[in-house]
Amino acid sequence: MDPRLRGDDSGRISLMGFLASRTARIKPSASSGAAQRARELRAAGRDIVNLGQGEPDFPTPDHIIEAATKAMRAGETRYTDTDGTPQLKEAVAAKFLRENGLRYTTKEISIGSGGKQVIFNALMATLDAGDEVVIPAPHWVSYPEMVAFADGTPVVVQTENFKLTPARLEAAITPRTKWLILNAPSNPAGAVYSEAELRALAAVLERHRQVWVLSDDMYEHILFDGRRYATMAQAAPQLAERTLTVNGVSKAYAMTGWRIGYGAGPAHLIKAMAVLQSQSTANPSSIGQAAAVAALTGPQDIVRMRCAEFERRRDAIGPKLGAIPGLACEMPAGAFYFYVSCAGLMGKKLKQDTDVALYLLDQGVALVAGTPYGLSPYFRVSFATSMENLDEACRRIAGAVGKLA
């Protein structure tokens, strides 16, 4: 018998040595874990205000649900092309041309089970052991973990005002650098890059032709203060041949559970990603794809209305969070998160932001500590919930901080 599978005294088989080493290199998603813990506590009868979930609280628009129902009744319940139906790829291409001025053929578009899968496929299809990926911090919790899973090396770079600067990008690049990941509006800080800022970063990348750009635009339509959106392939078209632009329907159309994301980039990369997907999940949900077509080609007024509501919540809650002693936060330019500094709470009782998150959970507020986002001591607050919940959460946080004093 393989000694790695030898049982203990109870007769149970040990998995030590059986699991692949890559499983030890990655950690569970902190944001998903916080949301799951909040659900568990609620199920156990605890009164928890959940500010850890990164999804809109709005329902999926009716015309999208109707399109999915129609597709099911029409028998569109079978396998589709591995990386997306022609109809959805055409809708994605039309979206990029209409909203971003970017021209793609259907061979340059990939459809996955959420934007996360599109990013995962791209990294798995391109990274060899030791290849480096530059990731500005604070960053979405999954970027470094996916890079590590693909045998790459995440290079986390600190930012200024939550945004990467040309000087810091230049300093981070080595001969092994293969990707730069840019996320804007960013999760968790809501930072947004102007066209001029993107062009300044592009000037650095022009000197390092081995570096590609993975532009995660998932929060593109949640933008505040009348800002105009810019993405790298549009701001710096000279980099389009080495840029993968990723987006999806989850945040803009309140379709997180439908699991449809998409990416656009050079055809040879898209083809490699399709091969990988063919041996993992195969096609995304046929029903989800039909719904996504309706989302991208249907009326867009509801997207703007919901963005205005997110902005109203931001304006109402930001000052309340900032007024709590020991906390400080910037007003996000997009997305639906505050990234709150809790440096003023560090002391004998609370030594790191994970302690703060656990303490606030005990006081009835679920949120995500900043450590997994690469910048501490902070915590992330989602305002993708009702004003009633946000007001109550601020009241509880203020009360909890008061108890510390």
Residue-wise DSSP of 359-389: HHHHTTEE-EESGGGT--SEEEEE--S-HHH
In this structure, the answer to whether residues 28 and 106 fall within a common structural domain is no
**CATH number, residue 351:** 3.90.1150.10
In this structure, the answer to whether residues 260 and 238 fall within a common structural domain is yes
Provide DSSP, 47-64.
Answer: --EE----S-SSPPPHHH
- CA angle 259-264-268, nearest 5°? 115
Establish if 348 belongs to a structural domain: yes
Provide DSSP, 244-308.
Answer: EEEEESTTTTT-GGG--EEEE--HHHHHHHHHHHHTTT-SPPHHHHHHHHHHHHS--HHHHHHHH
220: alpha, beta or left? (left if phi > 0; alpha if psi -120 to 50): alpha
Establish if 350 belongs to a structural domain: yes
Tokens standing for residue 364: 């009835």
In this structure, the answer to whether residues 288 and 306 fall within a common structural domain is no
Establish if 41 belongs to a structural domain: yes
What distance in Å separates the CA atoms of residue 101 and residue 249, rounded to the nearest whole number?
Answer: 19
* Low-confidence spans in the chain with pLDDT less than 70: 1-16, 29-35
In this structure, the answer to whether residues 100 and 147 fall within a common structural domain is yes
Establish if 134 belongs to a structural domain: yes
Q: Which residues are bridge partners to 50 per DSSP?
A: 366
Which is nearest to 55 in space by CA: 114, 138, 143? 114
In this structure, the answer to whether residues 43 and 121 fall within a common structural domain is no
In this structure, the answer to whether residues 30 and 93 fall within a common structural domain is no
Looking at the structure of the chain, the number of domains it has is 2
Residue 99 is classified by DSSP as I
In this structure, the answer to whether residues 306 and 292 fall within a common structural domain is no
Instruction: Please answer whether residues 131 and 278 qualify as being in contact, where contact means their C-beta atoms are separated by less than 8 angstroms.
Output: no
What is the domain extent for residue 38? 22-59+302-404
In this structure, the answer to whether residues 183 and 97 fall within a common structural domain is yes
**Residue entry with tokens 């890559």:** 22
What per-residue confidence (pLDDT) applies to 5?
47
In this structure, the answer to whether residues 341 and 201 fall within a common structural domain is no
Which helix (H) or strand (E) is 136 found in, with range?
Answer: strand 132-137
In this structure, the answer to whether residues 108 and 227 fall within a common structural domain is yes
In this structure, the answer to whether residues 196 and 288 fall within a common structural domain is yes
In this structure, the answer to whether residues 343 and 396 fall within a common structural domain is yes
pTM higher than 0.75 for the full model?
Answer: yes
Establish if 70 belongs to a structural domain: no
Residue that terminates a domain, selected from 265, 297, 329: 297
What distance in Å separates the CA atoms of residue 246 and residue 243, rounded to the nearest whole number?
Answer: 10
Residue that terminates a domain, selected from 297, 317, 352: 297
Residue that terminates a domain, selected from 297, 326, 353: 297
In total, the chain counts a number of residues equal to: 405
Establish if 11 belongs to a structural domain: no
For residue 228, how many C-alpha atoms fall within 13 Å in the half-sphere facing its CB? 8
What distance in Å separates the CA atoms of residue 14 and residue 6, rounded to the nearest whole number?
Answer: 6
**Residue entry with tokens 């790298």:** 232
Q: Which residues are bridge partners to 49 per DSSP?
A: 365
Establish if 144 belongs to a structural domain: yes
Establish if 72 belongs to a structural domain: no
**CATH number, residue 242:** 3.40.640.10
